Chain A
Amino acid sequence: MIQIQTLHKKYGNVRALDSVDLTWNQGDVIALIGPNGSGKTTLIKCILGLVFPSAGDIHFMGRSILNSYEYRKDIGYMSQISRFPDQLRVGEMLDILTDVRNVKDSDRDMELYEEFKIEQIRDKTMKSLSGGTRQKVNSALAFMFSPKVLIMDEPTAGLDPVAVEILKGKIHRTDKSVRLMIITSHILSDLEDFASRINYLQDGKVRIDYSFAELREKSGESRLSKAIAHILNPS
């Protein structure tokens, strides 16, 4: 579904992405992990077209995304820090997204919207919301348009434990066979339940690119964190 071909990205002298080659298929749930500054967010921004690669290409459903924007109708994105226009009210934000995407109100997936009780904060401005509440709005928006590709950058950061469980439940219920999910997180136990493929980035390079089953087999460990540690430092 998404092919990343020898992708390079330089910021000045810093190599944020260094020859990244990855193929992600429909039905996969990708755990994109790596230390801070390893290039996860840059990679996601490249896929979204917010950042332009220095070299290489990204194909989305067989077509290059460079100089294209239509492909974004199939992507739902939950950003790391939910940056939203301050003065807009939650409800207005929702209406704008629905309107620009040209989606009928009845075709929206309102499950998270209801579970997070966003109806009650419709008239509040984004500025007045707490970080966690904003993240709830953000996740409800990412799922709302049932996208074929769902990208979540640190989805559980800032959420309270109850909200984390609601979000995890939603990820569980979502039909994964027709879509691709990409999740980054530092909390590996959150990813263990869903991940079908593990991609570990370090200094802009792909260090691990195995399916979860392969990773377990190669490392002889069943826990994700231990398996990764075993592959990176075989002792």
Chain B
Amino acid sequence: MIKIIKYFLIDIIKNKVILGLTLFFLVTSFSLLYLDENQTKAVLSLMNIVIIVVPLISMIFAGNYYFNAYEFKEVLLSLPVARTRIILSEMIAVSISLALSLGLGLGIPALIFGAGSTILYLILITMVLSVACAAIALLVVILSREKSRGLGLVLLAWFYFSLLYDVIIMTLLMNFSDYPLEKFVVFLAALNPIDLCRISMMLKLDISALMGYTGALYKEFFSSLIGSAFTLGTMLLWILIPTLISIRIYRKKDL
């Protein structure tokens, strides 16, 4: 298994896209931290960029790589290697390269400018988020037959999690504002990995006062130990469940 992960990793690095991404994160993070005197403000800008860009990049990267490595997987499949191992290796290799790219790209400037715990937390959460997004994208492309449709659906999934989901929740809250929905909203946040990460980061930045009454509830819940465990556990589920479904489907898929 480690052998196969290794070969996927070599293949990804040869692709050079991941190097470009690392450079992009490096430049973004460096310029924001360099330009802004106030580190909290810089971290806030960084968060706003990262929360939109990282899911998009992770999903497109994972989805595109699935199709790019199609022939490679065919070659591996003609060898005595189980399908489960092949698709799991691909998922692990994609996750490692995305997490490393983010860790280095955002981490190096942070270390240069003297990172606080906030920015390290932001980087860590972003790494977990990128892996969850990769897992979702992998599931979407495995379900679709051809590249153009697969990548289209990946974009749609990103659109849903980044924008549409929030619109739905807002509509819900507006229409049912007479009812006590606060606890329910915490639950709804867990159904969207991007929202969950955004909330978790915002609370770390101590700007939850901007979020009004719900923010207070969020703060109470998410800053407790149970809240942190809840965030981490839910993110792990967002990685594990799509991966497991992907494996199940891939095992029985005609290639």
Contact = CB atoms under 8 A, between A and B. Distances in A.
A25 to B, nearest CB: 22
A79 B7 CA distance: 22
B252 A69 contact: no
Nearest to A69: B82
A98 B7 CA distance: 13
A73 B81 CA distance: 9
B78 A100 contact: no
Interface stretch (A81-89, A112-120, A158-166, A218-226): A81-89
B77 interface: yes
A14 interface: no
B4 interface: yes
A87 B15 contact: yes
B75 A85 contact: yes
B83 A69 contact: yes
Interface string A60-94: 00000000011111010101000111111000010
Given A69-B82, A77-B78, A100-B76, A86 B71 contact: yes
B253 to A, nearest CB: 8
Contacts of B81: 69, 72, 100
A78 to B, nearest CB: 10
A52 interface: yes
B14 A48 contact: no
Nearest to A97: B79
Q: How large is the interface on B (under 10, 10 to 19, 20 to 34, 35 or more residues)?
A: 20 to 34
A79 B3 CA distance: 24
A87 to B, nearest CB: 5
Contact of B11 (A45, A77, A79, A88): A88
Nearest to A87: B14
Given A50-B254, A52-B252, A85 B72 contact: yes
Nearest to B79: A100
A71 B80 contact: yes
A205 B69 CA distance: 34
B11 A87 contact: yes
B177 to A, nearest CB: 49
16 contacts: A48-B77, A50-B254, A50-B255, A51-B255, A72-B78, A73-B79, A79-B74, A85-B11, A85-B71, A85-B75, A86-B71, A87-B11, A88-B11, A97-B79, A100-B7, A101-B80
Q: Which 6 A/B pairs are nearest by Cβ-Cβ distance?
A: A73-B80, A85-B72, A72-B80, A83-B71, A51-B254, A77-B78
Interface of B: 3-4, 7, 11, 14-15, 69, 71-72, 74-83, 252, 254-255
Given A51-B254, A75-B78, 11 more contacts: A50-B254, A52-B254, A69-B81, A69-B82, A72-B78, A72-B79, A83-B71, A85-B69, A97-B79, A100-B4, A101-B79
